[in-house]
Amino acid sequence: MTLKIDALVCQPLASLKASCTVHLLLPFQGLTLQIWADNPRILELLKQYYSGLTASIPSESQPVQAVFLIDQQVNTQGINWTPAKRNKPSTLGLKEAYWDTSEGRWIHKVRTGMVFLQTLDAPLAMGDLTRHFSQVVNFINNQFLNVQQRCGYLLGHASAFTANGQATAIAASSGGGKSTLMLKALENPGARFLSNDRILFKPQPEGCATEVLGVAKHPRVNPGTLVSSARLARLLSAAERERYGQMPTVQLWGIEQKYDVLIPALYGDDKTTLSGKLSTLVLLDWSLEATTPTGLSRIDIEQAPEALEGLRKGPGPFFQCGDGHFPPEQAPSCDVYARQLTDVKVLRLTGEVDFERGIELLKAEGLLA
């Protein structure tokens, strides 16, 4: 049966939620999500996926929020959708749009047909859940992001790892190499995966290090990251390894085809962590066209806050304030980020793109053993 979205008001929504008879607890940092579904298969997939990315036992002291997953197609026609803003245009066209109602904000993933209802107390996802599993994961993670942003954490576009008792974040624009450098760092025995694409951070009282939280999502990387690692190349078929291995670096760098890197399966069960003390932010300002050697230098963000542009990340259409309203989607200014990072050392990698040299420089800085 296909559901028509403009007919889903009050009683139909209650009936849909009542059809969700199986559930799974996912204990995030500061929040436990109780995932209710009408299809047990999606819960099996979620349990496997989040293993190692969330706590093993829920904390009794933290709040519990319900999330509903409905495995049914949705008819999105006849709605005056508002296109969601994007940081940069895409050749693939509109990605998502939204419709604000008294129940909350309906969000339509245009390319996949998935539909989400964002509310404070009972957010809901509908569509072909297993086919578009990554969007289900993103929706669940957005509930965690919402709660932490309401608590004063700032959202950043960065990967992160921990080592030597400290956390290092790596920021760059999309395709800048932050995931690749972070995964290279995980080859160090003492390093642990914290986050792949987004972080949450907040200064603490004087004398305490800035707290950073990871987002529970495994890295999704392009072929260029995989072929550069003996550990990760096995995710490619033999034919793919040969084809990508023969490509010039510039051409390989531009390929957009995502592969999931499941950290526990590929690096070990002890290679993940949920939070850390943010000591260092590394900005990737290197270039494939550069001819100068890769270098690492300190940067004063009080004098040059614009250097943090690659770290800025808007909350997106899913973010909902505690009073229920949906704020504008634009990211805070670079000055806001600079004020949140006053106790964090900021470094910049420049010159040619050389991941092995980058890791050597991080080791020399004491960020890796």
| Average pLDDT rounded to a whole number, residues 99-103 | 91
DSSP string spanning 88-144? S--TT---EEEEE-SS-EEEEETTT--EEEE-SS--EEES-TTTTHHHHHHHHHHHH
174 vs 5: CA distance, rounded Å = 33
Q: Note the pTM of the prediction, 2 decimals.
A: 0.92
Please state, for a pLDDT cut of 70, what percent of the chain lies above it. Answer: 96
Confidence of residue 94 (pLDDT cuts 50, 70, 90): confident
129 and 169 together in one domain: no
275 vs 38: CA distance, rounded Å = 32
Answer yes or no: is 252 within a domain: no
Answer yes or no: is 253 within a domain: no
> The tokens of 240 are what?
């793919």
| Average pLDDT rounded to a whole number, residues 310-325 | 94
Q: What pLDDT was estimated at residue 99?
A: 94
Confidence of residue 198 (pLDDT cuts 50, 70, 90): very high
Q: What pLDDT was estimated at residue 87?
A: 58
165 and 273 together in one domain: yes
Domain boundary among 150, 168, 195: 150
11 Cβ partners below 8 Å, 6+ apart?
none
Q: What pLDDT was estimated at residue 329?
A: 83
140 and 173 together in one domain: no
* Cβ pair 181, 221 in contact under 8 A: no
192 and 299 together in one domain: yes
The residue assigned the tokens 């993940």 is 272
194 and 143 together in one domain: no
In DSSP terms, 289 is beta-bridged to none
Answer yes or no: is 229 within a domain: no
User: Which residues in 51-64 are b (16+ Cβ under 10 Å) and which e?
Assistant: ebbbeeebeeeeee
Answer yes or no: is 299 within a domain: yes
177 and 117 together in one domain: no
16 vs 325: CA distance, rounded Å = 24
Q: What are phi and psi of 171, to 5 degrees?
A: -115, 145
Q: pLDDT of 237-289, one tens digit each?
A: 999 999 998 999 889 988 888 999 999 999 999 999 999 999 999 999 999 99
202 and 271 together in one domain: yes
Tell the burial category of 350 from Cβ atoms under 10 Å away from its Cβ (0-12, 13-18, 19+): middle
Least confident of 82-86, 271-275, 359-363: 82-86
Please state, for a pLDDT cut of 90, what percent of the chain lies above it. Answer: 80
Q: What pLDDT was estimated at residue 93?
A: 67
128 and 25 together in one domain: yes
118 and 199 together in one domain: no
32 and 60 together in one domain: yes
Q: pLDDT of 130-158, one tens digit each?
A: 999 999 999 999 999 999 999 999 999 99
145 vs 84: CA distance, rounded Å = 18
Angle at 105 between CA 102 and CA 111, to 5 degrees: 145
Domain that holds residue 77: 3-150
pLDDT for residue 9 is more than 80: no
Answer yes or no: is 246 within a domain: no
246 vs 225: CA distance, rounded Å = 14
CATH number at residue 270: 3.90.228.20
324 and 205 together in one domain: yes
Q: What are phi and psi of 117, to 5 degrees?
A: -110, 115
Q: Domain tally for the chain?
A: 2
Answer yes or no: is 238 within a domain: no
Q: pLDDT of 205-219, one tens digit each?
A: 887 899 999 999 999
Distances (CA, A) of 179 to 141, 174, 183, 285: 19, 10, 6, 14
189 and 310 together in one domain: yes
Across all residues in the chain, what is the average pLDDT?
Answer: 92
Confidence of residue 22 (pLDDT cuts 50, 70, 90): very high
Strand 210-214, strand 115-118: pairing: unpaired
330 vs 83: CA distance, rounded Å = 14
- Of 234, 155, 224, 231, residue with least CA distance to 195: 155
